[in-house]
Amino acid sequence: MANTILVINGGSSSIKFQLFAIDPENQLDRRLKGQIDGIGTRPRLFAKNADGTCAVDKSWKSDEVCELHHALDKLVVFLREYVGRLPIAIGHRVVHGGAEFIEPTLVNTWVLDHLERFVPLAPLHQPNNLAPIRIVLERQPHLLQVACFDTAFHRHHSEIADRYAIPDRFYREGVRRYGFHGLSYEYIASRLRQVAPEIADRRVVVAHLGSGASMCALLKGASIESSMGFTALDGLPMGTRPGQIDAGVVLYLMNEEGMSAKDVEHFLYHDCGLKGLSGISNDVRELLASVDPRAKLALDYFAYRIALFAGMLATALGGIDGLVFTAGIGENAPAIRQAVVDRLSCFGLELSQPANAKNELRISSRGSHVGCYVVPTDEELMIARHTLQVLRKHEMPTERRA
């Protein structure tokens, strides 16, 4: 089999992975997509081949895979059986790269230690993104690892877009608006050139709507503004995060409710958003199926805030030529898309209900003044592309056999 690149997205109790083969023309061919989940509870390795057939479905007792390094060991054993050799490199999603890391970076101990500094800015993601890197660095130090950052795509915003209205020294220390989901937006920007060239170089607002949700303003394929800021708490309401919130609310929670900083952090990351508003669930599918008026309130609020931020981003662009929905909710929830676009009719947006119901590529009506699209994202392919580019710069290593 050809040389391969492994892409890893580490979570608190799971490892999502994809395997890409590098063909003789240096093109990437997806071979595997899977995950190990239930680490420490009900560990299971499941993966599908490129054609959708099952490549592996294996479970273990909880004490056999109770920590992340056990899961990585199981993954290595499987890959050696499946491929016959280890990948020549691993590409990792890393949520926060700060102001310093503005492009995919070959990881060493110094880089890894530096990235640990951003854990307080992304406590849900950063520790889990870095843990697999450290384990591989300890066990396979010669295996090339590349960190690909969700913040990097936004690092060329103007200073006006990135600043907060606080004293300059904080900006110099790195307290600024970073933006996230950059790997998704970068993929969408590249994909638009193929599927919607009529808007690829124009003014486009992209809504990445999943459990984590944000929006981005693209001009000629580059990010110029984002809904998220210093951390992944800002902007749109999400599954369990509140999105934009008055800082005075945080002061109230601490001063009047007696919450500690840790209490507030847990509250904002785990108890707010759609879950907090509805009191039912953070899952949009469950809320759409519910007849509880609280579910309707949560979804109406979600659509309202998306439309509100679309208007803000359109202002940053000086107008809007295209609106793109992506990620789990954006790609699969016609009712949410309809509710958002209904609120944007003042911009000349109008949906084709049949096209929207079928999740087609172009879902705007013929009379719509703004094109509206559903474009599936592929962050893993973007990571694999970046990893391959870094490999080319450092000379392609030879095959690593088992």
* Cβ atoms 91, 77 nearer than 8 A: no
Q: Given pLDDT bands bounded at 50, 70 and 90, which one contains residue 386?
A: very high
Q: Helix, strand, or coil here: 197? A: coil
Same domain, 18 and 103: yes
Same domain, 251 and 309: yes
Q: Given pLDDT bands bounded at 50, 70 and 90, which one contains residue 140?
A: confident
Average pLDDT estimate for 157-171: 95
Same domain, 346 and 385: no
Domain assignment of residue 350, yes or no: yes
Domain assignment of residue 162, yes or no: no
Same domain, 225 and 280: yes
- Residue of 223, 237, 220 lying closest to 307 (CA atoms): 237
Same domain, 316 and 365: yes
* Of residues 36 and 402, more confidently modeled: 36
Only one residue has tokens 């590098």, namely: 22
Q: How much of the chain exceeds pLDDT 90, in percent?
A: 78
Same domain, 344 and 389: no
Domain assignment of residue 257, yes or no: yes
263 flagged as catalytic: no
Residue 401 has pLDDT above 50, yes or no: no
Same domain, 333 and 208: yes
Mean pLDDT of the chain: 93
Same domain, 138 and 278: no
Domain assignment of residue 224, yes or no: yes
Average pLDDT estimate for 33-52: 89
Domain assignment of residue 307, yes or no: yes
CA dist 42 and 8 (Å) reads: 20
Same domain, 283 and 293: yes
Pairing relation of β-strands 400-401 and 371-374?
unpaired
User: What is the per-residue pLDDT across 197-237, written as a single tens digit (0 to 9) for each?
Assistant: 999 999 999 999 999 999 999 999 999 999 999 999 999 99
Pairing relation of β-strands 144-149 and 322-326?
unpaired
Residue 31 has pLDDT above 80, yes or no: yes
- Strands (DSSP E) along 202-300, which ranges? 203-209, 213-219, 222-226
Question: One of 23, 51, 113, 150 is an active-site residue; which one?
Answer: 150
Domains of the chain: total:
2
Same domain, 384 and 353: no
Same domain, 144 and 264: no
Domain assignment of residue 160, yes or no: no
Could you tell me the residue range of the domain that residue 263 belongs to? 197-379
Same domain, 372 and 385: no
Kindly report the CATH number assigned to the domain that includes residue 356: 3.30.420.40
CA dist 230 and 245 (Å) reads: 13
Q: Given pLDDT bands bounded at 50, 70 and 90, which one contains residue 40?
A: confident
* pLDDT for the residue 49: 93
Domain assignment of residue 180, yes or no: no
- Strands (DSSP E) along 227-284, which ranges? none
pTM: 0.92
Average pLDDT estimate for 97-120: 93
Domain assignment of residue 41, yes or no: yes
